[in-house]
Amino acid sequence: MNFEQRPELRQGLRLTPQLFLNLKLLVLPVIELQQLIEAELEQNPALELADDGDGLDSTAGDSAEEAVLGGKTGDGDSNEEFDIAELLPQDGWDLPGQAPDEGEDEPVISEVTPTMKLTYHDTLLPKLLAEVEPNDTRVAEEIVEWLNEEGFLSVNPAEISEATGIPLDTIKRVLGILRRIPPGGLGCPDVRTALIAQLELKGYSESSLEWRILNDYWNLFMEKKFKQLADKLQVPIEEIEGATVNICALEPKPGRQFNAPAPEYVVPDFSCEWRDGKIVAVEQDSNIPRIRIGRRFIEIIQHPESYPAEAVAFAREKVNNAMMFLKAIESRRRLLCRLMDWVIKRQKEFFQSGPEFLKPAMIKEAAAELGVHQATISRAISGKYVETQFGIFKLRDFFKSGTGGVARSGIKEKIQAMIECEDKNNPLSDEEICSRLAAEGINISRRTVAKYRAELGIPGSDERRR
């Protein structure tokens, strides 16, 4: 066996520690960046909070950097490169981004959000236990387990009895108590039964028009055939419309208020404001701690002869890490500011007139103009929000495909506006909407109009007709 050394050229993806840190910070929204800075302040003694208006002197900073990079630390060259697998940490910080699917033009970034969710055990069960007898505690717990997300019983009570060994009469008794818990109708088998239970809870009798509509003419009500309902019930159509208003005020999914996701609070990274007759992006970074390298550490590495070798090596290591962190923060800030300037320039009509005027924009266009990779732009817009006079939007919302110079969301806005202004006795068909859009230079098929309308939750013209 012959062992020998020989030079070899090989291509591979390598990241420096600085570049990896830049990528790690770029993908963070403002709240998580604040938390990371606070954690770094605790871990790295070379960092300290800067007073208002105070910061590290540039000359001192340059001298510190030269001292660190020019000196020898115990860990080797600070510019050493690592393989990606070696750089991936074990604390949950994954390298953001993923390759685009086949046929897609742009890379996709994964936005991981917390999935905190209120469950029936947290919200509904305590209310039910407060109403039932102590001996029925297990029955209440079992019934809650069989409720679906909408609050309906997913199986027949007899099946619960067979599966748990609990007497059927006991299950029905606890179900009756459950159905009286506001808003009413929890544990019912379907929407119609739940709505009837809510009517009874509100004091409507079986002779009431609302109760008769739901109990006897459910299908006609769902099909919105109000004239036929009036004929069947032998009442004026105005009374049918009044009863419909009362029914629509009920809760068709009584369970959703008990298992809704916890609210996700959003802090915008930028706000767009009018200043001197033009729109500018203002960073919302008032809560981000201002940090700098401690002067004590700068003093040590600038005058190493006055300190023990161990103290000098420790200071160089910590200051090197601190400067990498500060550079990553500044790199993130500069790229996001440049990107927001590009968005404002590209979507000027949106910021002036509203979402209906959102233009198509591609990530690769922004990447080309800013001179960075598409994946970098995708990371930059992940989890970021922008506050405008029309509301708060995801930064990713400004990068949408479209037709006729109008983004997809803008086309939906136009369709919704047309339908809101239509004659309710003669609503617009998808073909008519398609023709009106074509007159504005937006050429899409009737099928696409129907798709966008469905995504907006708007029924067809027949169902919208009064």
**pLDDT reported for residue 261:** 64
Domain with CATH 1.10.10.1330 in the chain: 120-248
Query: Token pair of 340, please?
Result: 């927001």
**pLDDT reported for residue 113:** 45
Domain with CATH 1.10.10.60 in the chain: 406-464
Task: Work out the burial of residue 378: count CB atoms within 10 Å of its CB; fewer than 13 is exposed, 13-18 middle, 19 or more buried.
Answer: buried
Q: How far apart are CA 266 and CA 392, in angstroms?
A: 9
**pLDDT reported for residue 439:** 82
Query: Token pair of 134, please?
Result: 């102590």
**pLDDT reported for residue 82:** 37
- Tell me if 323 sits within 8 A of 68, measured CB to CB: yes
Q: How far apart are CA 318 and CA 419, in angstroms?
A: 62
Q: Which residues fall within 8 angstroms of residue 298, CB to CB, at 6 or more apart?
A: 56, 60, 61, 63, 64, 319
Query: Token pair of 341, please?
Result: 């300037």
- Tell me if 342 sits within 8 A of 369, measured CB to CB: yes
Q: How far apart are CA 80 and CA 335, in angstroms?
A: 25
**pLDDT reported for residue 375:** 85
Domain 406-464, what architecture? Orthogonal Bundle (1.10)
- Residue 70: name the closest of 82, 60, 62 by CA: 62
Interhelix angle for 309-346 vs 363-370, to 10°?
A: 120
Cα dihedral 167→170→171→176 (10° resolution): 160
How many angstroms from the chain centroid is the CA of residue 39?
A: 24
H or E, element range at 329: helix 309-346
From residue 430, how far is each of 225, 412, 454, 459 by CA, in Å? 21, 13, 11, 11
DSSP secondary structure code for residue 108 in this structure? B
Query: Token pair of 5, please?
Result: 């050394």
Q: What is the mean pLDDT of each run of 10 residues along the chain (466 residues)?
A: 77 77 87 90 90 47 47 40 36 36 40 57 87 89 88 88 89 92 91 92 91 92 88 90 90 85 76 88 87 90 90 91 92 93 90 83 88 87 89 86 64 85 84 84 82 84 77
| 351-396 pLDDT per residue, tens | 888 887 888 888 888 889 999 888 888 888 888 899 998 888 888 8
Domain 120-248, what architecture? Orthogonal Bundle (1.10)
**pLDDT reported for residue 405:** 55
Query: Token pair of 68, please?
Result: 């660190």
Question: pTM higher than 0.75 for the full model?
Answer: no
- Tell me if 283 sits within 8 A of 267, measured CB to CB: no
- Tell me if 290 sits within 8 A of 326, measured CB to CB: no
